Chains A and B, each alone.
Chain A
Amino acid sequence: MGKDLSSALRPVVVMTILFAALLGIGYPLAMTGLGQLLFPAQANGSLVRATDGAVIGSSVVGQAFTTDRYFQTRPSAAGKGYDGLASSGSNLGPTSQALVDRVKGDVARMRAQGIAGPLPADLVTASGSGLDPDLSPASAQAQVARVARVRGLAPERVAALVAQQTEASLLGDPHVNVLALNRALDALR
């Protein structure tokens, strides 16, 4: 056993160093180089810029919309809401009173905005990441009347915009990217 141990020592130490260099340094650095070369936009976070060049967000990550003139995003448990440094779901279980209270509050808020009928589930639930970039088409359509009223636009035009921005998907559910939708909304006149 003693001889076994000492004969194992060199491979154990040297292999750790070699693999650490190859897999812990070489591989991620090589992939970073390749990624920056081939797909620089995505590798750097798919950032979205305004016409003046200022960064206004990422096309893949959600940001908070809370005012009535924009399509509002889902509730978020990431920090104080859509915190990019604290992604998280609420982790409230199905029988949690805290969940019931939160959903009750959000349902009341939606009713106050004039949204009637059964609410689409995603509109009043927090996502897994707290950074969900999307809404379901139903949740966006539910907000059309309010957005049109606040902006003084014809509801049909806003509804058509939602339909136009909806991405169908074979592999997941249809969804609307809220940042893209709201930017398109700002471009309407």
Chain B
Amino acid sequence: MTFAGWALILGFVAILIALTKPVGLWLFALYEGRRTPLHIVLGPVERSFYRLSGIDPQAEQSWRRYALHMLLFNAMLMAFTYAVLRLQGVLPGNPQGLPGLSPHLAFNTAISFTTNTNWQSYGGESTMSNLSQMLGLTIHNFLSAATGIALAFALFRGFARRQAQTIGNFWADMTRVTLYLLLPLCVAYTLFLIASGVPQTMAGVVDVTTLEGAKQSLLLGPVASQEAIKMIGTNGGGFFNANSAHPFENPTALTNLVQMLSIFLIGFGLTWTFGKAVGNTRQGWAILAAMTVLFLAGVTVTYWQEAAGNPILHALGTAGGNMEGKEVRFGIAASALFSVVTTAASCGAVNAMHDSFTALGGMIPLFNMQLGEVVIGGVGAGIYGFLLFAILTVFVAGLMVGRTPEYVGKKIESREVKLAVLAIAVLPLMILGFASLSSVLEQGLAGPLNKGPHGFSEILYAFTSAVANNGSAFAGLTANTPYYNWLLGVAMWVGRFFIIVPMLAIAGSLAAKRYTPESAGSFPTTGALWVGLLVGIILIVGGLTFLPSLALGPIADHLAMIRGQSF
């Protein structure tokens, strides 16, 4: 570990903390439906979208209606992308002449992008045409992110409103977030990326004769426009197989820093927006503090392990940190930081191959996802996932003192706790269930590239990533098989919507309650005690569940590594 490495990590966090309030304020304006300066340009677009689709943006929806419209819209988008991918061979915008995708790969990919997972069973450059990347995939990068933020707004309203029957309008939330936040950010971001060396063209392959006289083909395409929303929307699906490790996606150390910042930007801002929405910004800062503690702990472990390197390779005559799967222009610190950022958020973009990390260095990304990606988390999904844990935490605190728990002015009663547990239980059930199944079935065991405990880690990582809607991989796993494509597709769908629906039900139930002012007997939900308790509950409930599986995978792998044993 170096001074420069720690300066990068701490500087990264400092920049984000400085941006939290400005971004939070902007999000709050969208939450409230206020006019922004951008309405001059985009207001007519917004209004024409409502008019053409017959939407009244002022019409408030109950949680059931909000959920129904959100689900139908997402199902429609998924079907749309499935069709685009299947028909790729006959559609235009296909300079490489690539064929349509198989049913299981198209199913997997359509769900993957609809659920903001962006798991890639395919290699971008050898599978996807320019049109598929744009029309099939880029739209989801916007709309799955906008859906996530809209859902967070709905839950915020549940806490903020008093004796109300409604939680907002899905169409208005989703449209405003897309037009006034994601799109303008992406326009500026794309231009920055192009200026830094990311291609943006409709051309395909350029043939090159190298300095040594060999042939090399370079694939170009509309990379920058997809890259921008891939990061801002915590999507993570890269244009190329190697994702943000590819020099065309992430050409310099500066683009790398900006990519990491942009993964967390909205997640940080939303914590402030929540505080503002419930009338006490300290509530938001308390959440951010708990998230930051967990985040820095993860970075420390991964950076330490990667900088220490692999003793098995040291014995062969090499020195230094673990560079397998890493790019020289980023180095150890920026690669370790990126891996923790991308799995703390539900991004899943990678600038280094997690599969080739040291055993414990690679365990942290896995563990981050198993916690449910509540450390900052995906845009929207992170904060609503975190609030489920907050509900659980006040419940536990309430049990200790024998009082009905309250959180930001709402009594938390049996219905909310049951629904929160239901949502939180989805993760271990699906991850451990599917990973166990795949560890005994022949089709599952055909997947891993690596032998020994690392092979099990590859399977565990795949289902963790899918259920948590992350999308990064221990990419040695051969996932483009009917077995993995179908199963991971189901895992992604359940992991997204089986959490969202109980969460919206909580929003509806909270909105209907009356406001309970804080009293001397209320458990304070802003101070250090609260932050400590939150971190504890997240680690115990979210983390301990997975400890046995981690012992079989990364921990066993680590013990083998320090003994110098290979498989």
Contact = CB atoms under 8 A, between A and B. Distances in A.
B454 interface: yes
B331 A55 contact: no
Contacts of A165: none
Nearest to B249: A129
Contacts of A44: 199, 201, 203, 220
Nearest to A127: B327
A63 interface: yes
Given A19-B143, A57-B216, A100-B312, A11 B55 contact: yes
Interface centre among B80, B195, B324 (most CB of A within 10 A): B324
Contacts of A128: 242, 245, 325-327, 335, 350-353
Given A24-B138, A95-B557, A104 B52 contact: no
B208 interface: yes
Interface residues of A, number: 102
Interface stretch (B183-191, B481-489, B520-528): B183-191
B16 to A, nearest CB: 15
A54 B312 contact: no
B53 A10 contact: yes
Interface string A61-103: 1111111001000100010001111111111111111011001
Interface centre among B202, B318, B334 (most CB of A within 10 A): B318
Contact of A11 (B54, B134, B207): B54
B76 interface: yes
Interface string A14-46: 111011101111011011101110110011111
Nearest to A61: B247
Contacts of B207: 55
Interface residues of B, number: 126
A102 to B, nearest CB: 10
Contact of A67 (B65, B212, B219, B357): B212
Contacts, number: 384
Contact of B325 (A18, A25, A124, A126): A126
A103 B124 CA distance: 28
A97 to B, nearest CB: 4
B197 A31 contact: no
Contacts of A85: 125-126, 205, 217, 219
B457 interface: yes
Contact of B253 (A59, A97, A169): A169
B451 interface: yes
Interface in B209-231: 209-212, 214, 216-220, 222, 224-226
B302 interface: no
A62 to B, nearest CB: 7
A188 to B, nearest CB: 14
Contacts of B226: 28
Given A25-B134, A42-B196, A95 B566 contact: yes
A152 interface: no
Interface of B: 4, 8, 45, 49, 52-55, 65, 68-69, 72-73, 76-77, 80, 123, 125-126, 134-136, 138-139, 142-143, 171, 175, 178, 183, 186-187, 190-191, 194-203, 205-212, 214, 216-220, 222, 224-226, 240-242, 245-248, 251-254, 256-257, 309-310, 312-313, 316-335, 350-353, 355-359, 362, 449-454, 457-458, 474-476, 557, 560-561, 565-567
15 contacts: A19-B139, A23-B142, A23-B183, A38-B194, A42-B194, A45-B220, A57-B211, A95-B565, A103-B313, A119-B318, A122-B323, A123-B318, A171-B253, A173-B329, A173-B334
Given A23-B143, A27-B225, A30-B187, 19 more contacts: A15-B55, A19-B142, A24-B136, A27-B183, A31-B187, A43-B224, A57-B211, A66-B212, A85-B217, A87-B123, A93-B474, A99-B313, A121-B318, A121-B319, A125-B324, A127-B323, A129-B245, A131-B246, A170-B4
